[in-house]
């Protein structure tokens, strides 16, 4: 009986704490929004610098929040583009195309995956001495292993196709974009996590990842899951710069930072979890205002990277989130279709992010800021899976593939697909190594040109 009362008390206190944190963050946000005006979101990563001109508003006007179920939903059918983008045109939101359902077999060791596609020819790397990765699980190479959080991937079957079959904290069966981009550019084959103990001088001089799975541009997003906030990643970056100065001196360190490639990916967890999942911000902001806040936070992050010495900065946008397996399961109805509302929000954010980066690139001296369009490439892979060699695009390889993620994808309770290379998704949220390899190849071949034009 005492144990029962204690359990109820712990549960009550936990719920009270979550409610307190949510209300506290929301109250602060609401207070800041009232000072900024209805068209602006709060800017949690404040930074001095040039004031950007107001962005064109590509989505619905801020104001009373439109009900998702009222009126006609924005069409994302082929040919329609409800969000005009100054960069590459976002691809349409694909519908489900179920492929053959491979059988499952027990155990964490499926049949060996076929060798991945050959890497594209490496450029002679005279441009990038180092790679710096920031953001969420797409670029997290293991930082979450060294913090207190439930968002981890340092256990099998995660990492089963990584060199030596070792789980490293990457949310994938193998390598992720930070690794592939560094490899394709001729920097190094694997980008280590900054928090990993025992990093060598060579590890640090050629770049590390500061990213943390579960974080976002909204400061409330990492609080909910205890991930590393974007502001803290900037703190680690400044700390890293001082270490590099200690190794090679101030002048050489500044050369490495200014010529190195900084890649940033965030926003997916803000939309999928904080806004649409937990509804922590939905009652305060309509989606147009919230995506404007996200883009403003991203621009501020870029400014602080610039102030720290970075000059080549690439932001990868948000993919068609409504088409990842877990969103199909929770929001796609009985037929598990793509959730068009979330896809529209992703396009809305991408458009605003692209506009902000374009404006900043024109005003910041000696800086090149590039928007990298993942939405179109991702959508094309889902619409035309056979051309990429995929049989399954609406469920993950791990478990049922419908909802497994993190601890639910484990070697004790999860069956695995027979051929991981035929799956686009590894778990219900993250792509497979092969899908990441294809996307990274496109980034290097089609999106990084401006960095070479401005050496």
pLDDT for 279: 87
Q: Is residue 109 part of a domain?
A: yes
Three-class SS string for 119-165? CCCCCCCCCCCCEEEEECCCCCCCHHHHCCCCCCCCCCCCCCCCHHH
Q: Is residue 359 part of a domain?
A: yes
Q: In which domain, by residue range, is 10 found? A: 1-37
Yes or no: say if 139 and 211 are a contact pair by the CB < 8 Å rule: yes
Q: Annotated catalytic residue: which of 85, 93, 137, 209?
A: 137
Q: Are residues 15 and 134 in the same domain?
A: no
pLDDT for 1: 42
CA distances from 28 to 40, 220, 280, 295, 298 (A): 14, 11, 13, 19, 19
Q: Is residue 69 part of a domain?
A: no
pTM for the whole structure: 0.76
Nearest residue to 158 via CA among 333, 397, 448: 397
Q: Is residue 319 part of a domain?
A: yes
Q: Is residue 58 part of a domain?
A: no
Over residues 353-379, the pLDDT tens digits come to: 999 999 999 999 999 999 999 999 999
453 is an active site residue? no
Q: Is residue 61 part of a domain?
A: no
215 vs 201: CA distance, rounded Å:
28
Q: Residue 395 is encoded by which pair of tokens?
A: 């469920």
pLDDT for 147: 98
Q: Is residue 231 part of a domain?
A: yes
pLDDT for 280: 82
Q: Are residues 92 and 193 in the same domain?
A: yes
CA 46 distance to own-chain centroid = 21
Q: Residue 101 is encoded by which pair of tokens?
A: 């359902």
Q: Are residues 296 and 422 in the same domain?
A: yes
pLDDT for 372: 98
pLDDT for 454: 64
Q: Are residues 99 and 219 in the same domain?
A: yes
145 is an active site residue? no
Residue position matching structure tokens 């680690």: 236
| CATH number of the domain residue 136 falls in | 3.40.50.1110
Q: Is residue 59 part of a domain?
A: no
Q: Are residues 328 and 407 in the same domain?
A: yes
Q: Are residues 110 and 1 in the same domain?
A: no
Q: Are residues 130 and 24 in the same domain?
A: no
The sign one gets for the Cα dihedral 126, 132, 135, 138 is positive
Residue position matching structure tokens 């101030």: 250
Which parts of the chain have pLDDT scores under 70? 1-126, 454-455
Nearest residue to 403 via CA among 346, 326, 292, 327: 326
Q: Are residues 19 and 131 in the same domain?
A: no
pLDDT for 127: 82
Q: Are residues 192 and 308 in the same domain?
A: yes
pLDDT for 53: 34
Q: Are residues 122 and 222 in the same domain?
A: yes
pLDDT for 443: 96
Q: Are residues 14 and 152 in the same domain?
A: no
Q: Tally the domains of the chain.
A: 2
124 is an active site residue? no
CA 240 distance to own-chain centroid = 22
Q: Annotated catalytic residue: which of 218, 286, 430, 440?
A: 430
Q: Are residues 30 and 140 in the same domain?
A: no
């Amino acid at each position: 009986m005492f144990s029962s009362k204690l359990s109820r008390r712990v549960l009550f206190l936990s719920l009270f704490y979550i409610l307190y944190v949510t209300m506290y963050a929301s109250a602060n946000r609401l207070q800041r929004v009232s000072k900024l005006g209805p068209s602006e979101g709060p800017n949690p990563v404040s930074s001095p610098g040039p004031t950007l001109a107001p962005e064109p508003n590509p989505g619905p006007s801020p104001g009373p929040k439109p009900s998702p179920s009222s009126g006609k939903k924005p069409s994302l059918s082929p040919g329609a583009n409800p969000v005009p983008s100054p960069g590459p045109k976002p691809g349409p939101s694909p519908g489900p195309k179920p492929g053959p359902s491979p059988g499952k077999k027990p155990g964490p060791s499926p049949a060996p995956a076929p060798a991945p596609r050959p890497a594209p020819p490496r450029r002679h790397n005279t441009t990038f001495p180092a790679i710096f990765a920031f953001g969420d699980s797409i670029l997290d190479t293991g930082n979450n292993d060294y913090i207190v959080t439930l968002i981890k991937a340092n256990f099998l079957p995660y990492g089963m196709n990584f060199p030596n079959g070792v789980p490293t904290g990457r949310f994938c069966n193998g390598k992720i974009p930070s690794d592939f981009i560094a490899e394709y550019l001729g920097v190094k084959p694997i980008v280590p996590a900054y928090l990993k103990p025992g990093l060598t001088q060579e590890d640090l001089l050629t770049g590390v990842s500061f990213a943390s799975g579960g974080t976002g541009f909204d400061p409330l997003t990492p609080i909910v899951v205890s991930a590393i906030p974007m502001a803290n990643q900037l703190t680690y970056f400044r700390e890293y710069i001082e270490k590099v100065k200690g190794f090679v001196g101030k002048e050489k360190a500044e050369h490495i930072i200014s010529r190195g490639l900084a890649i940033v990916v965030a926003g997916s967890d803000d939309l999928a979890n904080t806004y649409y999942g937990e509804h922590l911000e939905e009652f305060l902001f309509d989606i147009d205002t919230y995506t404007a806040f996200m883009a403003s936070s991203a621009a501020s992050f870029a400014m602080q990277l610039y102030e720290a010495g970075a000059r080549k900065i690439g932001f990868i946008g948000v993919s068609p989130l409504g088409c990842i397996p877990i969103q199909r399961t929770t929001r796609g109805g009985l037929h598990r279709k793509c959730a068009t509302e979330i896809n529209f929000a992703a396009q809305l954010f991408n458009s605003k992010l692209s506009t902000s980066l374009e404006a900043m690139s024109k005003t910041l001296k000696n800086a090149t800021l590039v928007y990298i369009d993942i939405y179109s490439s991702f959508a094309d892979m889902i619409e035309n899976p056979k051309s990429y060699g995929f049989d399954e695009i609406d469920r993950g390889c791990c478990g049922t593939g419908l909802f497994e993620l993190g601890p639910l994808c484990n070697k004790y309770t999860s069956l695995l697909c027979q051929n991981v290379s035929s799956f686009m998704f590894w778990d219900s949220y993250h792509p497979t190594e092969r899908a990441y390899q294809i996307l990274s190849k496109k980034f290097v071949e089609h999106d990084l040109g401006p960095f070479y034009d401005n050496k």
